[in-house]
Amino acid sequence: MSRPPSPRTRLRRAHARGRHDRETIDAALDAQPVCHIAYLRDGTPAVLPTLQWREGDHVYWHGSSASRALRAQDGAEVCLAVTLLDGYVLARSAFHHSVNYRSVMIYGRARRIEDPGRKLRHLETFFDRLLPGRWPTLRPMTEQELKATAVLRLPIEEASAKIRTGPPVDEEADYALPIWAGVLPVREVIGTPVPDPRNPDGVEPPEALRVSRTG
């Protein structure tokens, strides 16, 4: 499924890197929960770093109901970005140095989920995506906690992806230079779990304990 680009999502430069198909967009969203959301606060641009998750044709994020950022975003135009840095691209000239990356940009109007039942189901899905199997093992959420939590969503409609992969692209004459060129790959890794010192004796991490999505 692919939508025609809007004036905001059409890429004016480096067209070859631009993609508008949902498969590419969804794969990047699903690979990295960290996102940055630009919004207007008192008339000036602000950015909120938070975690996103995708359900079908929407991306979701959550936070405190008291959060100024989430209050300002509700009903407002936002721009949500997910960025995965995949490598530093070392060329023979400074100019052609680059990075390998997967990047998604979604523009649109954010809306708060009002219904408590739906809100709870979305939070459960968030856990299922990030920490599969953990939600059912937890002390259930109280009504008070649910009230204190806001969930917002944004349709994946006006969206684009941008991807760069592979070696540097140098000026033809520069390839003969005795300069090492190539890629320094970057990735995010999950280390050994660090148990809370207050865990009761004998409580072991479940085998399923892992972060399912990491780029």
Q: Taking CB under 8 A as the criterion, which residues in 36-55 touch a second copy?
A: 36-42, 44-47, 49, 51
Sign of CA dihedral 182, 184, 186, 192: positive
| 31 belongs to the binding site for a second copy (CB under 8 A) | no
- How would you label 179-211 residue by residue, b for 16+ Cβ within 10 Å and e otherwise? eebebeeeeeeeeeeeeeeeeeeeeeeeeeebe
CB 41 to a second copy: min, Å = 7
Q: What residues from 82 to 101 belong to the interface with a second copy (CB under 8 A)?
A: 83, 85, 87-88, 90, 92-95, 97, 99, 101
Size of the site for a second copy (CB under 8 A): 95
- Among the candidate windows 21-29, 53-61, 111-119, 132-140, which touches a second copy by CB under 8 A? 132-140
Beta bridge partners of 64: 149
- The answer to the question of residue 212 lying near a second copy (CB under 8 A) is no
Nearest to 95 by CA among 163, 32, 170: 170
158, 9 Cβ separation under 8 angstroms = yes
The two structure tokens encoding residue 175? 């390839």
Among 4, 16, 56, 66, binds a second copy (CB under 8 A): 66
Q: How far is the CB of 137 from a second copy (least distance, A)?
A: 6
> Which has the closest alpha carbon to 86: 162, 156, 198?
162
Stretch of 19-27, 52-60, 111-119, 172-180 lying at the interface with a second copy (CB under 8 A):
172-180
Comparison of 53 and 101: residue with beta carbon closer to a second copy? 101
